[in-house]
Structure 1
Amino acid sequence: ICVNKVDLTGLDAAKRIFGLYETIGYEVIYTSAEEGQGIDALRDLLTDRVTVVTGPSGVGKSSLINRIDPRLSLQVGDLRDFQQKGKHTTRAAQLFRMPFGEKTYIADTPGIRELGLYDIDPIDLQFYFVEMQEFLHDCRYSGCTHDHEPECAVRAAVERGEINAERYESYIKLLHGEE
């Protein structure tokens, strides 16, 4: 996970928000395309991989790629003042070969305005939340959705603080098609 624009929030604030993902096993890199912070670490991570850069409009995806490889000079836009949202400057996905590593490619994509589940059965959603894995087999019912069923080990883990409550709420919203 790459968190950009930490120059706007401060590194400590960004870590308070995204540190949760580090605790459940994801690697998080904190960057500022504007100031160059974290770019070397990001470049090291991307070397000899094919990477798709995706995220909401206005988070600085193209700016990050420009910082990684300035010869590209990808068009970037300003945030719209009245909404503080990005406009779609990148209109189509493009794949670029990077000048480092033998097989380093980065795909720049248009911003995501809405995220939903496609072709994921609701009962399978639980498998996309890594922090739930160790509790799934301890639920009383094999088809437990971890929403309302009695003796649910996942909900009990949330109550004990072993699963982050915000992540659990995201799971529930996705389960019900609300997010």
Structure 2
Amino acid sequence: MARRKYEPTYEYEEFEAEFESLAEEPRRGRKPKPKKASANLLPGIVIRARGHHYDVLLDAPDEAAQSGTQDGRAGDTVLLCEVRGRLLLEKGRDTLVAVGDRVWVMPHGKGRGWIERIEERHSVLSRQQPGTTVPAEDVILANPDQALVVFAVAQPEPHLRMLDRFLVIAEANELPAIICANKIDLTGEAQARSLFQPYEEIGYRVIYASAVTRAGIDELRDLLLDRITVVTGPSGVGKSSLLNAIHPDLNLRTGDLRDFLDKGRHTTRAAQLFHLPFGRRTFVADTPGIRELGLYEIDPADLGFYFVDIKPFVNDCRYPNCTHDHEPGCAVRAAVEAGKIRRERYESYLRLLHGDE
């Protein structure tokens, strides 16, 4: 498919005029330092994208921005911002501003601002930009710290191959993943451990939790504190109940997490951050970047590297392009036969390799 050309549109005549006046200015660096006249720049985080406008949650209230809207929790100030024209001139193939970006804004008017600077990202949840074969990164979420993958031990029964899929996506994006085995009050912790302990054995942190008994709740709260966490997992596993147990003032009804996290979503792949009311920088995001992102971007030859238990054996195969399916001299299959890789995980690898659900 041909790449869709980036064609910025603007809703305000004043912004169009400014953009035209800057068209002849020389290109500048990605993160220009503010001039002395820009001493009123305020730091914040992009929590939602609205086309070419962005909701920016300011780090702290400021007299210059008190006309902003309140969102998330008492005292939060959010400005609806546009990007300065000179930054737009520097946009290449990759995403200029993404949800999760740390930015500096200049307030103007009532509840509005300009994004003047964009801080360097320390991590991304991204994919190849749709519609083009030219290498171009489409950043779904900037600066995530971790993924919390929630599965119930019962009601519904855990689909561990789906869990493997989530973990592969997290590994491909170099995103640390924590597994939460929820609803242990239905089965007891011993049975829950029999299901999920194999993931602990290969290096994943597993939290055994229950909103009913409050098992694991303090541990989850500590994990979320002052981090950007992608919360994901199948429907019905109790994500809403867990967040209510972590902070009861949220008052989410059972099953309401989708509504809570989908508030204001405009596209099927858009991320949105929600500020949890504990810790100044405690955010959760539910995004198709981790929940629905397909595996088609992953080269089949690389899939083994995203299974943490298969990865140590990949480079020991006789053939460098081994798929670990049928080739002779395959170190991965030998490790399976020797019990060094669990057969269930290997079968999960094969299903993903062949595109089976």
Alpha-carbon shift at residue 28 of structure 1 (Å): 0.5
State the partner residue of 2:72: none
Alpha-carbon shift at residue 107 of structure 1 (Å): 2.7
Asked if 2 retains the 8 angstrom alpha-carbon contact of 1:93 and 1:107, the reply is no
State the partner residue of 2:320: 142
State the partner residue of 1:154: 332
Letter in 2 for 1:165: R
Change (3 A) 1:10 1:171: same
TM-score (norm 1): 0.85
Change (3 A) 1:18 1:47: same
Task: Tell me the alpha carbon deviations over residues 139-161 of structure 1, each in whole angstroms, 9 at most, x when there is no partner.
Answer: 00000010111110000001000
Alpha-carbon shift at residue 40 of structure 1 (Å): 0.3
State the partner residue of 2:343: 165
TM-score (norm 2): 0.44
Letter in 1 for 2:181: V
Q: Does 1:50 align with 2:228?
A: yes
Asked if 2 retains the 8 angstrom alpha-carbon contact of 1:158 and 1:164, the reply is yes
Which of 214, 230, 240 aligns to 1:62? It is 240
Q: Percent identity?
A: 65
Letter in 1 for 2:355: G
Alpha-carbon shift at residue 53 of structure 1 (Å): 1.3
Q: Does 1:106 align with 2:320?
A: no
Asked if 2 retains the 8 angstrom alpha-carbon contact of 1:52 and 1:106, the reply is yes
Asked if 2 retains the 8 angstrom alpha-carbon contact of 1:33 and 1:39, the reply is yes
CA RMSD of aligned residues (A): 2.3
User: Structure 1: 5+ residue runs without aligned partners?
Assistant: 78-87
Q: More strand per residue: 1 or 2? A: 2
User: Structure 2: 5+ residue runs without aligned partners?
Assistant: 1-178, 264-272
Q: Counterparts of 2:330 and 2:338 in 1: how far apart (Å)?
A: 13
Q: Does 1:90 align with 2:258?
A: yes
Q: Counterparts of 1:22 and 1:113 in 2: how far apart (Å)?
A: 22
Change (3 A) 1:115 1:109: closer
Change (3 A) 1:138 1:113: closer
Change (3 A) 1:48 1:114: closer
Q: More helix per residue: 1 or 2? A: 1
SS at match of 2:318: coil
